[in-house]
Amino acid sequence: MDFFIGWIVFSILVGVYADTKGRSGVGFILLSLILSPLFGFIIALIVSPIKSNVVVRRELKECKYCEELIEKDDLFCRYCGKEQTQKAQPIKSDELKERLYH
Ligand SMILES: [Zn+2]
């Protein structure tokens, strides 16, 4: 009986872990319950986090009026609505990470 409780608890932990990486927590819980928590954990470990992938793919720039981060190709700032000119500087990746994770 303890074995099954452990199985379920670890499956849920795998789901929670997968969720922190932007993956489907429920999906990983089911995967772990059906196959094994260890298998689910290994899959959760090797999949790349979704959130950081999105950040890497998107190119952001800083609105020169309100200094919020907007898409590089946006013609208008979605925060202050001001029109963006080509002069807006793309943000260096180091600086971007600092802004996103603080
Ligand atoms: Zn703005």
CA 50 to ligand 1 center in whole angstroms:
27
CA distance 48 to 37: 18
CA 75 to ligand 1 center in whole angstroms:
11
Query: What pTM, to 2 d.p., does this model score?
Result: 0.49
CA 49 to ligand 1 center in whole angstroms:
29
CA 99 to ligand 1 center in whole angstroms:
16
The pLDDT tens digits for 55-73 are 556 688 888 899 999 988 8
3-state secondary structure of 88: coil
CA dihedral in degrees (56, 44, 12, 33; nearest 10)?
140
- Domain residue ranges of the chain, discontinuous segments joined by +: 2-52, 58-100
CA 21 to ligand 1 center in whole angstroms:
30
The pLDDT tens digits for 74-89 are 889 999 999 987 654 5
